[in-house]
Amino acid sequence: MPKVDEKIEGMYQEVLKRNPGETEFHQAVLEVLECLGPVVTKHPEYLERKIIERICEPERQIIFRVPWQDDKGTVHINRGFRVEFNSSLGPYKGGLRFHPSVYLGIIKFLGFEQIFKNSLTGLPIGGGKGGSDFDPKGRSDDEVMRFCQSFMTELYRHLGEHTDVPAGDIGVGGREIGYMFGQYKRITNRYEPGVLTGKGLTWGGSLVRTEATGYGATFFVNEMLKARKNSFDGKTCLVSGSGNVAIYTIEKIHQLGGKCVACSDSNGVIYDEKGLDLDLIKQLKEVERRRIQDYASVHKHAKYIPNGNIWEIPCQVAMPSATQNEINGKDAATLVKNGCIAVGEGANMPTTPEGVKVFLDAKIAYGPGKAANAGGVATSALEMQQNAGRDSWSFEYTEKKLEDIMINIHSNCFETADEYGAPGNYVLGANICGFIKVANAMVAHGLI
């Protein structure tokens, strides 16, 4: 990776100074700024109008307390966040994450990434993110409902289909979206389906939304492989995680002829050299909400590795689909050494800067999250289109639109990298392509 251009270095130092302790946010900003040297040389107006300084400062940051009662009557206080980062291209769009690790720095990193990811989709959506340090794991449906209702009682005043449209993320699925939508409807007295995406199919949701991030990441990797005269056919693949993104990444890889042999959860790794039984994983994770280790009690030949490192298993395609910074420099080197030729990020920033450098130096096909996992938010925007038109599209039609969007993102990243003298570098291509579109809109809108 290039170093930060001297014209931009002071801006990065200011970000560090203004946002102390927010290491994930610092990492996300640095990854983008490292790519912008040639851009500001070509477009000096971005420096004159302080576009980079403005893009690194959220338009609005909302922090609030969320009081709720558990089933025993005990009162709990969590903290809620919504960072409305940039609305140059459209209403703020980005998920809500419920996880104990959530704090302002995590939300800002995710929101900053979302600006460029949403820009790359080519759809009219700005960037934002939100969530809470609430942990839904082990909580009853009633407890989750009470928390979601309390959370939305504060957040609703900041939302609207033309203002800010949240979706799900880690810890927020169809159940949580349903409870939050119900509370929004109750408070506002408006059935406004376009205010939340990831809704149930019977009340305004979109077909393919559940599958979108995993399918989209796989489509993107397929395009990277095609660009190298290759394909998924016969490839051994690893997919970390076993949530929504991982499950549908595995499904699409299998459809395209690849074989996934391992996935994981926070407790360990399951390795099935015959190929993962996706129906069983769906039953364990989507229906019974059990741990991935239970896979081995059904398929005795499979190996469960407690607290294992999935990236030590040899593969040709790796798709990190769990959480940030799950692949470090050592893991990346192991993957390359074991014959990995392509990496597609289904999660947000799952590779550390050291790991990214290893992949780029090895010149393997590496698709960064802001490009590779944009399929989720792209399909959220398609859900907004259906809501605005009081319409509902077929699965096949929606999936084809998603595939076309991912092919277009790949083309734009590929061509931009080529234009800026770094052919095959999707990190540089994605960052520059996403940035320029937002920057031009900010210039057009004046000093706001």
Q: Is residue 86 part of a domain?
A: yes
Regarding whether 218 and 107 lie in a shared domain, the answer is no
pTM, two decimal places = 0.92
* Pair of tokens at residue 422: 């770094």
> Which domain covers residue 172, as residue numbers?
60-191
Instruction: Please tell me the predicted confidence (pLDDT) of residue 1.
Output: 45
Regarding whether 85 and 43 lie in a shared domain, the answer is no
Regarding whether 134 and 14 lie in a shared domain, the answer is no
Regarding whether 103 and 36 lie in a shared domain, the answer is no
Contact 214, 222 (CB under 8 A): no
Domain boundary among 346, 372, 398: 372
Domain boundary among 372, 395, 412: 372
Distances (CA, A) of 61 to 88, 90, 311, 418: 16, 17, 36, 36
3-state class (DSSP) for residue 96: strand
Regarding whether 224 and 155 lie in a shared domain, the answer is no
Regarding whether 219 and 150 lie in a shared domain, the answer is no
Regarding whether 150 and 273 lie in a shared domain, the answer is no
Instruction: Please tell me the predicted confidence (pLDDT) of residue 2.
Output: 56
Q: Is residue 367 part of a domain?
A: yes
Regarding whether 129 and 158 lie in a shared domain, the answer is yes
Instruction: Please tell me the predicted confidence (pLDDT) of residue 323.
Output: 87
Regarding whether 177 and 71 lie in a shared domain, the answer is yes
Regarding whether 222 and 166 lie in a shared domain, the answer is no
Domain boundary among 133, 159, 191: 191
Mean pLDDT by 10 residues, the chain (448 residues): 81 97 96 95 96 98 98 98 98 97 97 96 97 96 98 98 95 95 98 96 95 97 98 98 95 98 96 97 91 95 96 98 94 98 95 96 96 96 96 97 98 97 96 97 96
CATH number at residue 79: 3.40.50.10860
- What amino acid is encoded at 125 in this protein? I
Q: Which residues pair with 432 in a beta bridge?
A: none
**Separation CA 151–CA 142 (nearest Å):** 14
CA 291, 293, 295 angle in degrees (round to 5)? Answer: 100
* pLDDT one-digit tens code per residue, 150-201: 999 999 999 999 999 999 998 999 999 999 999 999 999 999 999 999 999 9
Instruction: Please tell me the predicted confidence (pLDDT) of residue 4.
Output: 82
DSSP 3: P
- What amino acid is encoded at 216 in this protein? G
Regarding whether 71 and 44 lie in a shared domain, the answer is no
Helix (H) or strand (E) holding 178: helix 174-188
Q: Is residue 296 part of a domain?
A: yes
* pLDDT one-digit tens code per residue, 72-110: 999 999 999 999 999 999 999 999 999 999 999 999 999
Structural domains in the chain (count): 3
Q: Is residue 387 part of a domain?
A: no
CATH number at residue 336: 3.40.50.720
Q: Which residues pair with 98 in a beta bridge?
A: 132
* Pair of tokens at residue 179: 């409870």
Regarding whether 221 and 362 lie in a shared domain, the answer is yes
Catalytic residues: 129
Instruction: Please tell me the predicted confidence (pLDDT) of residue 111.
Output: 97
